[in-house]
Structure 1
Amino acid sequence: MRTVRSDWANTILVCKKCSKKLDGGFGPKGKTSLAKALRQDLGVRKGRKGALGIIEVKCLGVCPKGAVTVVNGAKPGEWLLVSEGAAIESVVDAVGLHAATQMAAENP
Structure 2
Amino acid sequence: MKAHVRSDWRGAILVCRKCDKKAGGGFGPKGKTSLAKALRTEIGGGKGRKAKIGVVEVGCLGVCPKYAVTLVDTRQPGEWLIVKTGTPVEDVAARLAGDVAGESA
Deviations 1:5-48 (A, max 9, x none): 11101110011100100111101111100011111112244422
Q: CA RMSD in A?
A: 2.0
Q: Give the Cα separation in 1 of the matches to 2:36 and 2:5.
A: 23
- 1:34-88 superposed Cα distances (whole Å, 9 cap, x missing partner): 0111111122444222221000111111000000000000000000100001011
Misfit runs of 4+, over 6 Å = none
Q: TM-score, normalised by structure 2?
A: 0.87
Task: Indicate conservation of the 8 Å contact 1:9/1:103, yes or no.
Answer: no
Alpha carbons of structure 1 residues 24 and 73: separation in structure 2 relative to 1, 3 Å? same
Give the SS at the match of 1:48: helix
Give 1:99 shift: 2.7
Q: Structure 2: which amino acid aligns with 1:93? A: A
> The residue matched to 2:38 in structure 1 has which SS?
helix
For residue 56 of structure 2, give the secondary structure of its aligned residue in structure 1: strand
Q: Which residue of 2 aligns with 1:27?
A: 28
* Gaps in structure 2 of 5+ consecutive residues: none
65-74 vs 45-54, greater mean Cα deviation = 45-54
| Structure 1: segments with no counterpart, 5+ residues | none
Please, what TM-score do these two structures have when normalized by structure 1? 0.85
Equivalent-residue separation in structure 2 for 1:37 and 1:58 (angstroms): 18
Over 3 Å counting, the alpha-carbon distance change for 1:7 and 1:93 in structure 2 is same
Percentage identity across paired residues of the two chains: 55
Q: How many residues align?
A: 104
- Matched AA of 1:68: V
